Amino acid sequence: MDNCKHSAQQLALIASAVAIALAENFNANEQNVIGNMIVQIGSTILTIAAATQSCESANSQNDAQK
């Protein structure tokens, strides 16, 4: 089995286990707030990563043209 695929499956399993463990301790309203907060954190991290990757790519292209 491919190591990357295996690691991805393990991450998905861990994320599911954490989500279930967290959900057990909160009512539906609290689950909604916490879930939306986690989604927002993920979205913000992805936005930062995309901007960073874009800058790094532009810098690499500029360096290659020198």
**CA-angle at 24, arms to 16 and 18, nearest 5°:** 25
pLDDT of residue 33: 97
Question: How much is the pLDDT for 10?
Answer: 93
Domain count, the chain: 1
pLDDT band at 2 (very low <50, low <70, confident <90, very high): low
- pLDDT of residue 1 exceeding 70, the answer is no
pLDDT tens per residue, range 28-61: 999 999 999 999 999 999 999 999 999 988 888 7
Give the structural domain span for 10. Answer: 3-65
Alpha-carbon distance of 20 to 28, in angstroms, equals 13
Specify the pLDDT at position 6.
77
